Amino acid sequence: MTEKEKLEDLSYWKKTADKFFEDGKYLDALEAYESMAKLDPKNALAWKGMATAFSLLDKPYEALESLNKALNIDPADLEGLEIKGLILKKLLEDNEEELNRLKTSKSE
């Protein structure tokens, strides 16, 4: 595959993923971003897209994993860092009751 063909394929999958997001088809968007990542594993946009899709599919751990890959590629991505913070905050809130129960049982 030539570089030009690769760029055309990446553009196609990006447009496809955007359309799926627009239509609320998050699983399909995820698959389109996965296709992008297979074509170019160092494409931070593909990994961020996957993170967004996983988040919207209520899969926060998978979202974090994808986001970490994006941030490893582009550590200065402020939007990615902000999204990571939001996901971590939600996970903390979702698990707060269990954390408090564990803290209580350890102190007894």
List the one residue out of 29, 35, 67 whose CA is nearest residue 51.
Answer: 67
Q: Which domain holds residue 68?
A: 3-107
Instruction: Give, for all 108 residues of the chain, the pLDDT tens digit.
Output: 898 998 999 999 999 999 999 999 999 999 999 999 999 999 999 999 999 999 999 999 999 999 999 999 999 999 999 989 988 998 888 888 887 888 888 776
- Helices 44-56 and 26-39 cross at an angle (nearest 10°) of 160
pLDDT value at residue 108? 67
Q: What is the CATH number of the domain that holds 80?
A: 1.25.40.10
Count of other CB atoms within 10 angstroms of residue 41: 11
Q: What is the pTM of this model?
A: 0.84
Instruction: Write down the number of H helices and E strands in the chain.
Output: 5, 0
Structurally, the chain folds into a number of domains equal to 1
Count of other CB atoms within 10 angstroms of residue 5: 10
pLDDT value at residue 51? 95
pLDDT value at residue 71? 96
